[in-house]
A and B are shown apart, each in its own frame.
Chain A
Amino acid sequence: MTLLRKIIDWIDLRIGVREVVQKELTGYLLPRNINAWYSLGSILFFAFVLQVLSGILLLVYYVPDAEKAFKSVSFIMNEVPFGWLIRMFHAVGSNMMVLALLLHMLSVLFMGSYKRPRELNWLTGFILFIMVQGISLTGYLLPWSQLSFWATTVATNSANAIPVIGPYLVEFLRGGVLVGPPTLGRFFALHVAVIPIGIVALIGAHLFLLKRTGVSAPPFGQKETGNQWLGDSYHYENHPGGIPFFPHFALEDLRAIAIYMACFLAVLFFDPYLFFPKDAFIPANPFVTPSHIKPEWYFLANYQTLKIFPNELIGLSLQGAAMTFLALLPFVDRGPERHPLKRPLFMACSIGGLLLWIGLSIWGHFS
């Protein structure tokens, strides 16, 4: 221990590391009524790191070539020692990450944490949500299975409904008239380089904004649940007498991550093919469309919306409007009240919206 202390002393003398630890970790106080939902951000960060690591490992054997992609994935699954584990870790992990992301967004919504002065936190988070959807969609094509191929065909085809530029946009996305080898090249580049870089940059921005504004206090267990921010000048929201981030809340985060991992590994080991329909195990055949091609569970509501409306443009516009509304929510919902039970209109709309989304997803699953 003395050696460790000497090393820390040596570093501290040069860069004042103890001051940084005091300011950012032990002296960084969080509200006393903070709850477990606040750990979802840490879970997401951890899940993203796992996705990056397992993704890098898959790159060791995966070949992004239409002729070889499916074979290389089969090789990883069947021949490489523990290849199945790494691949399933990545595939199941992406679904778990989306689930955690949705829960994170719901907690922010219900606790009114998106309200001013945190509009930018919400916006960056919302863009991250779109990017995670993008990285999931592009990754879906890479195994070059029947499922990948046709799900991508349907997904990219929906852009056709956009007037004037629609058909060109579809061709541009695919790199050709139909989904084919050029699509794989594009989606691969987007999946392993472009979108991850964007996500990392946005996570940086999201955390920067969080540090500059300070953590919001949950509206529960307080007499005054309204927004205290006056909007006259920049103000860091500190929490005197609060809980230190390290070690107290870091341990809470660790416990939340452990629970997340337990759920994740339970799916991975006991029901690994939960998210894999049988078409995921058949190599892509551009001449045979399988029946009942469905997207991932988190796109089922979008899929069903497009099916309900006979005019694709209406379906697409409706989704676009809903997404825009959600993205701009902090600018629409400007009331100071943050407690969900004191916001009946918000509660009715959000629970209604959530039920609609779940209903559409179930309908999409069984349709």
Chain B
Amino acid sequence: MDNNGRRTFLGLCLAGLAALAAAAGGWPLFRYLSPRTNIESAAKVVIPAKDIPEGEAKFFEYAGSAAVLVRKRDGSLVALSAVCTHLGCIVQWQKEKQDFLCPCHAGHYSADGIVTAGPPPKPLPKVPFSVAGGTITVG
């Protein structure tokens, strides 16, 4: 092996060691800063049915994000994600108009989460729920 070959070989060995050291240091750092999978966020949310009168909405945390339960004037229930599909602000329930307003860019959604005005590109995603014995179980 000539001098240049040896130099390249040693250079490669050093680079390999440096890469190994960087990985050994980088992996713990990445894991340390990675968002933690919250066990609680996957749990179901139980809400007493009487907490939501007709025409009203209740906001709560679900799966690490914001969600809302609406009891429409006809008594039916809807569970939706409360995160605006435009730029991620939390929508507000407008009781008088029976619709959602996103305060950031004036996006409007109906009580069922369908876009009625403004920039949101998609409707609010629906959240699964069930009603039994006077309690609403979301998730």
- Interface residues of A, Cβ cutoff 8 Å to B: 57, 60, 79-83, 85-86
How many chain B residues have a CB neighbour from A under 8 Å? 7
Knowing that A83-B32, A86-B32 are A-B contacts, what are 6 other residue pairs whose CB atoms are under 8 Å apart, sorted by A's residue number?
Answer: A57-B33, A79-B36, A80-B36, A81-B31, A82-B28, A82-B29
- Say whether chain B's binding surface is mostly helix, strand, loop, or mixed: helix
B76 within 8 A of A: no
- Interface residues of B, Cβ cutoff 8 Å to A: 28-29, 31-34, 36
Number of A-B contacts (CB under 8 A): 21
Q: Which residues of A contact B32 (CB under 8 A)?
A: 57, 60, 80-83, 85-86
Inter-chain CA distance A79–B39, complex, in Å, is: 13
Inter-chain CA distance A291–B33, complex, in Å, is: 38
Q: Which residues of B contact A79 (CB under 8 A)?
A: 36
Inter-chain CA distance A82–B32, complex, in Å, is: 6
Inter-chain CA distance A210–B36, complex, in Å, is: 46
- Say whether chain A's binding surface is mostly helix, strand, loop, or mixed: loop
Q: Which residues of B contact A86 (CB under 8 A)?
A: 28, 32
B49 to nearest A CB, angstroms?
Answer: 36
Cβ–Cβ contact B34 & A57, under 8 A: no
B93 to nearest A CB, angstroms?
Answer: 33
Closest chain B residue to A76, Cβ basis: B32
Cβ–Cβ contact A81 & B34, under 8 A: yes
Q: Which residues of A contact B28 (CB under 8 A)?
A: 81-82, 85-86
Inter-chain CA distance A57–B32, complex, in Å, is: 8
Q: Which residues of B contact A83 (CB under 8 A)?
A: 32
Closest chain B residue to A80, Cβ basis: B32
Q: Which residues of B contact A81 (CB under 8 A)?
A: 28, 31-32, 34
Inter-chain CA distance A85–B34, complex, in Å, is: 15
**Most chain-A Cβ atoms within 10 A of its Cβ — which of B28, B31, B32, B33?**
B32
Q: Which residues of A contact B29 (CB under 8 A)?
A: 57, 82
Closest chain B residue to A58, Cβ basis: B32
Closest chain B residue to A81, Cβ basis: B31
Inter-chain CA distance A80–B28, complex, in Å, is: 10
Inter-chain CA distance A83–B29, complex, in Å, is: 9
**Most chain-B Cβ atoms within 10 A of its Cβ — which of A80, A81, A85, A86?**
A81
Closest chain B residue to A60, Cβ basis: B33
Q: Which residues of A contact B36 (CB under 8 A)?
A: 79-80
B74 to nearest A CB, angstroms?
Answer: 46
B35 to nearest A CB, angstroms?
Answer: 11
B62 to nearest A CB, angstroms?
Answer: 23
Inter-chain CA distance A85–B25, complex, in Å, is: 10
Q: Which residues of B contact A85 (CB under 8 A)?
A: 28, 32
18 CB < 8 A contacts A-B = A57-B29, A57-B32, A57-B33, A60-B32, A60-B33, A79-B36, A80-B32, A81-B28, A81-B31, A81-B32, A81-B34, A82-B28, A82-B29, A82-B31, A82-B32, A85-B28, A85-B32, A86-B32
